[in-house]
Chain A
Amino acid sequence: MARMGMVFDLKTCIGCNACVVACKQENSLPDGVFFTKTLSEEYGVFPLANRVYIPTICNHCDDAPCEKVCPSGATYTRHDGIVMVDDAKCIGCSSCAVACPYDQRTTMDADNFLKGLFGTGEITPFEKEGYARYTPGTVTKCDFCSQRVDANLDPACVVTCPTNARIFGDLDDPHSAPSKMIRERNGRPPMPEKNTRPKVYYVN
C-alpha cells in the first residue's frame, strides 16, 4: 500500500508562490483561502542576516489529530495515506481546525463565495464553475490533489514549481524521489514533538 508524501527543499525554494497560485487555480479557492502557503522568515543579524522560505501544507499525518477529533467521521485517511474531508459528512464544527497543530484547515464561510475574487460581488465564470465543489459551512484543506494522484499526476503545486522545491511520491517506496531525498538529505518532519507523524518533510 502506498503512503503518499511530500518533501520541501528549503535550499531551492525561492518563495515565489507559484505553487500557491497553482493551488488556487486547481482548486478554485476563494480570496484569502489557502491550501498551501509559503512563509518568509528572516533570521540572524546584519550582515549575517538571512531569510528562509518555508512552504507549508496539510501534512497528511499518519496519526492525524484532525481525524481523531472529527465527530462525524468526515475526516478520513485514504488507502494511500492522503487525509481527506468528506464534506457531505462535515458538520462544520471546526474541531479539526482547533486540533490541527499546523493550522491547515479552513472553514468555508458562505461569504467567501459571495464577494468573489475581485471583491465586487461579481462571480466570474471561473468561480461559478469551480465553487460548485464546496459546501459552505464545511471545513476543507489540501488533499494532495487526490484526483490528480488517482490520474497518475503530481499535485498542481508540484508540477509548476520552478525550482523543483516540492517533491511528491510514495514514502513507502524506498526508491521514490521523496524517500531518497529524505534519506540522503536528512529530511525532518514539521513539529515532530506533536507526534502526529507527518508525511511531509523538509530538507536543507
Chain B
Amino acid sequence: MNGDKKRTGARALVESLEKADVDMLFGYPGGQALDIFNCLTDAKFPFVLGRHEQGCVHMADGYARSTGKPGVCLVTSGPGATNTITGLATANIDGIPLVVITGQVPLALIGTDAFQEADTTGIARGVSKHCFLVQSADEIPETVAEAFYIATHGKPGPVVIDIPKNCQQGLTDAQYPERVSLRAYHPESAATTAQLHRMAKMVNEAKRPVIYAGGGVIASGAAKDVAALARRAGIPVATTLMGLGSFDERDPLSLRMAGMHGTPAANWAMNEADLIVALGVRFSDRVTGKISKYAPKAKIIHVDCDPAAIGKNVSAALGIVADVKDVLTTVLSRVKQAAHPEWIAKIDGWKSSHPVSWTQMHENVIMPQAVMESIDRATKGRAVVVTDVGQHQMWAAQHFRYSLPRHFLTSGGMGTMGFGIPAAIGAAFARPDHKTVAVCGDGGAQMTFEEVVVAVEHKLPVTFVIINNGCLGMVRQWQELFYGKNYSGSILTVKGRCGNERLEQDLDYDYLPDFVKLAQAHGAEAYRVIDPAKLDATIARAVKSKRTTLVEVIVEPRANVYPMIPAGRPVSEMVFK
C-alpha cells in the first residue's frame, strides 16, 4: 500500500474498535492516552466519561453483563491502569467479556520510572484472561481483533491491550483482519456422542435428580434449553447466585438459589439428590460448603466450557467440556419424558415448611427484605436489578423472583464493593428499554458514588436504592455470629463504634453522609424513607420517574441474612435465625 493510506496507530485503533462492532466506550483520559482521545471525537460510537477508572470498568462490565457483548473501556497509563485492576478481577472471576485499553509511556521510556509509568501487563496478568503489550502501530488492528476474540471465546473474560504512546503516534497501513486465527488458543470443544448418550442415560435413570444452573447458562444463552430439559425430565432446578434468572423462579420446578444463603429446599435437594446435572457452574465454596460433605448421595454430571472448571472443586462422574447450549439442544431428544412425583412431593414439603421469609423485628422500622419486595412489586418483577456486595446483595437474591436471564447483575466471585452504582449505569446505557434498579448498601455506595453524576448527565432513569443500616452489614453479621459481637471497623454511624476508633461522641449527627443531599448535589432526584408506611409509595414514585433517582431507606441495623450455612460447614449446619 502506498504511504497516503497510512494513518496513526491511534486512528487505526478507533477504526478497529468500529470494525469490532463497539457501540459504546467507557473511559477516562490522561497523558498517555491523549492521541487516542484525539481520534474519539470522529468515532462512530459514543464515549462515556466516567469519574474514576474503577467506575469506568464496572460500567463496561454492567454493559457486558446485561447484553452479552464485550464491554470496552479506555484509560491512561500508571494510575489510570492500576485503578482498573479491581474491575478486571471482578470481570475475570465471573467470566465477563471486557476489552480494556490502557495508554502506556513510549516504548523507549518503559523501565525508566517515567512519569505515570506502571508495568500494566505485569500487574494485570493475574486478574485478566489475557494481556497484550503492543510493540508497534502495525500490530494494533490485529491485536484488537484478537482481544475481542479472546474476550468472547471459551470462558469469556477481560483482555487488556496496553498501547505505548509512540505506537499510538506511529504510522501504519495495517488493516483489521477479516478473521482471527490464533495459533495456540482453540477453546471450542464439543460433547462426544458417547458423552451425550451417557448423560441421557444418567438423567433417565435418576430417581432424585436436580439441575444446578450457573452463570455459564446465561453466558451461553441456554436458559430456554434448561427449562426444556427440566420440564421434559421433571427435574427441579437450583441456581447459583450468578445463575439467577437462568430459570424462572416462579416455576413450580424452581428451587431458587443454592448455597450459603440459598433456600433450604435447594440445599436439601442437592444433599438428597442421586444426580446433579451441573450446567455452567464452578462449584464455588459459597455453594458447596464443606466439600467432603457436599451432595453425598449424588453422581455429578458437570458441563462447562472451561476444562479447568471440571474436577477443580468436586469430582464429576461425567465431565463434558462444551458449550452448555450445544449440549442441551443435542441431549434433549435422548431424554425421556419423566416426572418424579415422590421426589417432587418431598421437595414441595421443604418449600412449604421452610419458605423464603423474614420477620419484622420491631414495629415502625423498615426491614431490608421488605425493600426488596417493594421494588419487586413496583417494577412488576421485570427490572434489571444490579447489586453491590453484602447483606443487601443476598436479600436481593432471595426476595426478588427472577424470571429472565441478564436481569440480576452482581459481583459474584470477587464480591466487589462499589460495583453496584457504575454497573447499573452501564446496564442502563445498554438496555434503555428496561428499568434498571441498583440496590446498594451504605458502605459500597460510598466507594463509587461519584459515578451517579454520569447517570444524571446522560438522563438515565436509573433508580439507586441505598439500604442504609449504618454499618457494613455482612461484616457486622459475621462479627455478631463468629467474633463475639466485637464490631471492629464495621460501624458507620457515630453511635456504636469501638473505643479504638476515637470518634467525638457528642456529634449532633449520626448517619453520615446524608445520601439525599449527596444525590441532590450530583443532580439526582432523591428521597429518604424511615416510616414503613411510606416505603411502597416512595419506591413506586422513584421507579416511575424518568429522571435519575435515589431512595435512601433507613433500615433495621441488626437484621441478618438467613438462612445461613456457615463457611466451610455442611448443609446439616444451616441456621435459620
Q: Do A and B bind each other?
A: no
